[in-house]
C-alpha cells in the first residue's frame, strides 16, 4: 500500500486528491495548520475517529510550511512514497497585502520541503503545485515553452518554488514534477475566489439574503476547469516514468463577466441588476488573459478535460443553491454523478491506515 503525504490537505485540491488516493488504496497523511477554529471542513466527511473502533483511513499532523522542523518530523514519521505540495497562501489579491508572508509560505515553504526531502534522504516522488499565474502577462495560449512573466507577489513566489523544484530535480536527482495548473474550481472552492464568490452571491440574492454583489475587474479572462479532474493529473504525473513540468487547462477562456452572465442567467436573473464595482477588488497589476495549450498533457498522459465552462458554472450553482435549501433548475448533479461515478465513491473501498 502506497503512502502519500499531502500539504494543504484541508484546501480545495487537497480534499479531492485525498478522495482520489483513498479510492486507489493509498494511505493518506495530511499536514494541517493549528488554528483556533476548525479548518478541516472539506475533509471532515473522510475522517474516522480510531477511538470509535473505526479504521482510520487518513491521518492528520500539525505542521506549517514556515516551520522546517515540522516538515522534517512529518516526513521522517510518515516515510511517504509520494508528497503532494499543495499548501500555499494561494490568493493573488491577498498576496499584494501580505507579500513577505506569501513569499515565505508559497516560495520558501517549497524549498524547506525539498530540503527536508534531501536531508532525510527520503526516496519520494514530489509534486509541486505550480500555476498559470506564472505566465502573467505572456501572450496566450500559454504552454510549457511560454516564458514566465509573473504579475504579483504570489506569482513571483510560485516562480521561485517552480525553479527550485526544477533545481532539486536536476541537482539532486529528486523525482520532482510540477503541474502548471490553470484555474480550477468546484463547489469546494474558497469563498473569496471569483467563481465561488459569484455562485454563492447568486444563491444568496435568490434567497433574499443579499442585495448586491461587489466585484473588481470583470474583463480579465481565465481558463476555468473542474478541480476533481485536475487532481487526477497530479496523481498521474507522479506515476509517469520521468519527472517533468506539465501545463493543465481546458483550452477555453472566458471573462469574469461571462461567468456572471452564466451564473445569474442560470436562475433567470440579469447580473447587471445586482453587480456593483468596488475598486478595492482591483489588483495593482492584473493578469488579463490566460488560455492553456495543454497538448503535452494529452500526448504524455492521455489527459483531456471533460467538464467545460457551462457545466462548471452549473455544478457550482447547483451546489450553492442546495446549501441554501433552494431548488436547482439544472442538471449539474446528474453531470457530477454520471461523469465521476467511480473514484469519488471512495467509501466503498476498504482502506486501513493502521500502522
Point out which residues bind ligand NAP (CB under 6 A).
Answer: 7-8, 10-14, 33, 35, 39, 64-66, 86-90, 105, 129, 131, 181, 183-184, 190
* Residue 13 near which of ligand NAP, ligand G4F, none (CB within 5-8 Å, type-dependent): ligand NAP
Distance in Å, CB of 144 to ligand G4F, minimum: 15
* Residue 86 near which of ligand G4F, ligand NAP, none (CB within 5-8 Å, type-dependent): ligand NAP
CB 202 within 8 A of CB 269: yes
In the chain, where do the E strands start and end? 3-7, 27-32, 58-62, 82-85, 125-131, 175-181, 184-185, 213-215, 221-222, 225-226, 245-248, 254-255, 275-277
- Grid coordinates given for 265: 442567467
Quick one: three-class SS letters along 248-282?
Answer: ECCCCCEEHHHHHHHHHHHCCCCHHHCEEECHHHC
Distance in Å, CB of 332 to ligand G4F, minimum: 20
* Residue 65 near which of ligand NAP, ligand G4F, none (CB within 5-8 Å, type-dependent): ligand NAP
- Grid coordinates given for 27: 494511505
* Residue 220 near which of ligand NAP, ligand G4F, none (CB within 5-8 Å, type-dependent): ligand G4F
Please compute, for residue 157, the number of CA atoms within 13 A of its CA located in the half-sphere on the CB side.
26
The answer to whether 16 contacts ligand G4F (rule: CB under 6 A) is no
Among 18, 132, 146, 151, binds ligand G4F (CB under 6 A): 132
The catalytic residue positions are 131, 133, 154
Among 68, 220, 255, 285, binds ligand G4F (CB under 6 A): 220
Q: Which residues contact ligand G4F (rule: CB under 6 A)?
A: 90, 92-93, 131-133, 182-183, 192-194, 197, 215-217, 220, 222, 256, 281, 283, 286, 290
Amino acid at each position: 500500500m502506497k503512502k502519500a503525504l499531502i500539504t494543504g490537505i484541508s484546501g480545495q485540491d487537497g480534499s479531492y486528491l485525498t478522495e482520489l488516493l483513498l479510492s486507489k488504496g493509498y494511505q493518506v497523511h495530511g499536514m494541517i495548520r493549528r488554528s483556533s477554529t476548525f479548518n478541516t471542513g472539506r475533509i471532515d466527511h473522510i475522517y474516522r475517529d480510531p477511538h470509535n473502533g473505526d479504521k482510520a483511513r487518513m491521518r492528520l499532523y500539525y505542521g506549517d510550511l514556515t516551520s522546517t522542523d515540522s516538515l522534517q518530523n512529518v516526513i521522517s514519521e510518515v516515510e511517504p512514497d509520494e508528497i503532494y505540495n499543495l499548501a500555499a497562501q494561494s490568493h493573488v489579491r491577498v498576496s499584494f497585502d501580505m507579500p513577505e508572508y506569501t513569499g515565505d509560505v508559497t516560495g520558501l515553504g517549497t524549498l524547506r520541503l525539498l530540503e527536508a526531502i534531501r536531508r532525510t534522504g527520503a526516496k519520494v516522488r514530489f509534486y509541486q503545485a505550480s500555476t498559470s499565474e506564472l505566465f502573467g502577462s505572456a501572450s496566450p495560449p500559454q504552454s510549457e515553452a511560454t516564458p514566465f512573466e509573473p504579475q504579483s507577489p504570489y506569482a513571483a513566489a510560485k516562480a521561485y518554488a517552480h525553479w527550485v523544484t526544477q533545481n532539486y530535480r536536476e541537482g539532486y536527482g529528486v523525482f520532482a514534477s510540477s503541474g502548471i495548473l490553470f484555474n480550477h474550481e468546484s463547489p469546494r472552492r474558497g469563498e473569496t475566489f471569483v467563481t465561488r464568490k459569484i455562485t454563492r452571491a447568486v444563491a444568496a440574492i435568490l434567497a433574499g439574503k443579499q442585495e448586491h454583489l461587489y466585484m473588481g475587474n470583470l474583463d480579465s479572462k481565465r481558463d476555468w476547469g473542474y478541480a476533481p479532474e485536475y487532481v487526477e493529473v497530479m496523481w498521474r504525473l507522479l506515476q509517469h516514468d520521468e519527472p517533468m513540468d506539465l501545463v493543465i487547462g481546458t483550452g477555453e477562456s472566458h471573462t469574469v463577466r461571462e461567468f456572471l452572465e452564466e451564473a445569474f442567467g442560470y436562475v433567470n436573473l440579469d447580473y447587471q441588476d445586482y453587480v456593483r464595482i468596488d475598486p478595492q477588488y482591483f489588483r495593482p497589476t492584473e493578469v488579463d488573459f490566460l488560455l492553456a495549450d495543454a497538448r503535452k498533457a494529452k500526448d504524455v498522459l492521455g489527459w483531456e478535460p471533460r467538464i467545460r465552462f457551462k457545466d462548471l458554472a452549473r455544478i457550482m450553482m447547483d451546489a450553492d443553491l442546495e446549501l441554501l435549501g433552494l431548488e436547482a433548475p439544472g442538471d449539474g448533479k446528474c453531470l457530477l454523478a454520471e461523469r465521476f461515478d467511480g473514484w469519488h465513491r471512495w467509501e466503498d473501498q476498504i482502506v486501513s491506515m493502521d500502522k
